[in-house]
Amino acid sequence: MWAFIHKLGSPKWFYAISERLLPWFWVAAAALILVGSVWGLAFAPADYQQGNSFRIIYVHVPAAFLAQSIFVTMAVAGFIFMVWKIKLADMAATVMAPLGAAMTFVALFSGAVWGVPTWGTWWMWDARLTSMLILLFLYFGVIALRGAFSSRDSASRAASLLAMVGVINIPIIKYSVDWWYTLHQPATFSMTSRPAMPMEMWAPLLIMVLGFYCFFIAVTLMRTRSEILRRESSKRWVRELTMEVS
């Protein structure tokens, strides 16, 4: 087990294995998002209360899921970097932050657009919305910390610490609709109960969620490969690889 973890932390091994995995995740992401979006936007029935405005759920929910999952992954990667000094974990956390911030913004913006026909307003200081806004600021803080230090190691430690502390906001986001009075609807999917919406609605949503996660993995693999080449540029295997490409 530990031998595999040590091997997984090798930038050279990761660069080689990610090259084989990357096309599969790109294809899966494209196929799932295409099928889910066409099914959800064109063929899923309209909601009996919200009409066609509910269709923004096929972007809003996957983006919100991904925004929270990326931050948790960053916190885990930060913990691995702080405890075991595996620099590949820090590389992955570095490239995840901008995508996580983008997904958080998409979730907030799509939620605001959805709120106009549903609540009659773009924004209100709802517990779920406020905690998601805090998540966006946490992403900005992590990104800012990585550029605030002249020492890369100091920047990585500071960003990792903020991610590990800030991850406490994730359960607040998840359970805010249960803990406080909120206009936001409860979770769309639950591990303990069947979805409230019919299969014709939740099936394309599930496909979109899977597609977004495949997209996240593909982007992370691609950008981590670039980060490896940037940080390991002095290593012999990187110089040889660069010579082969040129």
Residues of the chain with pLDDT under 70: 1-8, 183-195, 245-246
pLDDT at residue 180 in the model: 76
Burial code of 165-190, b = ≥16 C-beta within 10 A, e = fewer?
ebbebbebbeebbeeeebebeeebee
Domain that holds residue 214: 22-42+54-182+198-245
For residue 154, tell me if it sits in a domain: yes
Query: How many domains is the chain partitioned into structurally?
Result: 1
Is 137 a member of any domain?
yes
How confident is the model at residue 33, as a pLDDT? 98
Query: In Å, what is the CA distance from 2 to each residue of 84, 216, 244?
Result: 12, 26, 33
Position 188 in a domain: no
> Is the pTM of the predicted complex or chain greater than 0.85?
yes
Token pair of 75, please?
């916190």
Does any domain span residue 207? Answer: yes
49 assigned to some structural domain? no
pLDDT at residue number 190: 59
What's the pLDDT score for residue 40?
A: 96
Residue 12 lies in a domain: no
Measured CA angle at 66 (ends 116, 213), to 5 deg: 125
- HEC readout, 72-121: HHHHHHHHHHHHHCCHHHHHHHHHHHHHHHHHHHHHHHHHHHHHHHHHCC
> What are 124-183's pLDDT values in tens digits?
888 899 999 999 999 999 999 999 999 999 999 999 999 999 999 999 999 988 777 776
